[in-house]
């Protein structure tokens, strides 16, 4: 059997297994979705969202792109965030980067990647914002790993620049944004424990779209 046919065979076996071993999940599939988590990750084949946190279908709303970027002119991520916050009313948003990210590595090279360049420029901008810290790291791999983390942090801040996210944060005190890095060598997740109170206080007065961000910073 060729690899393509195998994919469809696998699907039949998976569906049957789900029906037998998790009948409640199977029955819920057709009745709608009410995920509490919105996961924004890299499209890398080694970072399958549901698998790495071992949750069944229906538990996470997922958006993935090259290098887990949250760009202000990307209708795709914009629509996903709007739908997640205003309609699904998720409780948390997670931005998950990963080690050995080809997108981040490419952005650190002085090379022309053609149509990829406008996308990768977002990561180059993150480097520029943190050039003082990054240029001070002598080891190439350590500097690259730090950029993976800083990229996640910046994308988390970008998430909070959307009005639908700001409204959700204000409406639900428990609403949270998290930054993670998945290590492809250990398959373990590192929670960056990003200090969002500091982030909100710093950028609230600039990016506040709802007149509520500064209030949030004072409340927290
Ligand atoms: Co990647």
Active-site positions read 42, 44, 46, 98, 101
The predicted model gives 30-59 an average pLDDT of 96
Which CATH class, in words, describes the domain spanning 33-162+174-194?
Answer: alpha beta
How confident is the model at residue 2, as a pLDDT?
A: 86
Which sign, positive or negative, has the C-alpha torsion 159, 160, 164, 168? positive
- How far is 133 from 34, CA to CA, in rounded Å? 41
20 CA → ligand 1 middle, Å? 35
The predicted model gives 156-182 an average pLDDT of 92
pLDDT-derived band of residue 218, with 50, 70 and 90 as boundaries? low
Sequence-ordered alpha helix ranges (H) in 2-101: 3-21, 23-28, 49-52, 75-82
Q: Among residues 108, 113, 112, which one has the least CA distance to residue 131?
A: 108
78 CA → ligand 1 middle, Å? 20
197 CA → ligand 1 middle, Å? 27
60 CA → ligand 1 middle, Å? 19
Are 174 and 89 spatial neighbours (Cβ–Cβ below 8 Å)? Answer: no
**Above 60 in pLDDT, residue 73?**
yes
169 CA → ligand 1 middle, Å? 28
93 CA → ligand 1 middle, Å? 18
pLDDT-derived band of residue 154, with 50, 70 and 90 as boundaries? very high
pLDDT-derived band of residue 211, with 50, 70 and 90 as boundaries? confident
- How far is 160 from 208, CA to CA, in rounded Å? 9
Looking at every residue in the chain, the average pLDDT score rounds to 92
Sequence-ordered alpha helix ranges (H) in 70-189: 75-82, 102-107, 117-129, 131-135, 140-159, 163-171
Domain ranges of the chain: 1-31, 33-162+174-194
Q: Burial-class residue 83 by CB neighbours within 10 Å (0-12, 13-18, 19+).
A: middle
């Amino acid at each position: 059997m060729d690899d393509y046919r195998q994919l469809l065979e696998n699907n039949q076996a998976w569906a049957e297994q789900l029906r037998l071993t998790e009948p409640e999940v199977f029955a819920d599939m057709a009745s709608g979705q009410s995920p509490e988590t919105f996961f924004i990750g890299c499209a890398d084949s080694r970072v399958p969202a549901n698998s790495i946190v071992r949750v069944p279908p229906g538990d996470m709303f997922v958006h993935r792109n090259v290098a887990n970027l949250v760009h202000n002119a990307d209708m795709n991520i914009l629509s996903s965030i709007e739908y997640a916050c205003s309609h699904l009313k998720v409780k948390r948003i997670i931005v998950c980067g990963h080690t050995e990210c080809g997108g981040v590595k490419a952005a650190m090279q002085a090379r022309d990647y053609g149509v990829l360049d406008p996308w990768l420029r977002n990561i180059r901008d993150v480097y520029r914002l943190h050039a003082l810290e990054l240029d001070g790291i002598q080891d190439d791999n350590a500097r690259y790993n730090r950029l993976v983390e800083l990229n996640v942090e910046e994308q988390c801040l970008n998430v909070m620049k959307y009005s639908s996210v700001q409204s959700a944060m204000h409406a639900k005190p428990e609403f949270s944004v998290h930054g993670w890095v998945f290590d492809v060598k250990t398959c373990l997740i590192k929670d960056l424990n990003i200090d969002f109170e500091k982030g909100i206080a710093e950028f609230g007065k600039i990016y506040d779209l709802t007149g509520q961000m500064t209030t949030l910073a004072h409340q927290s």
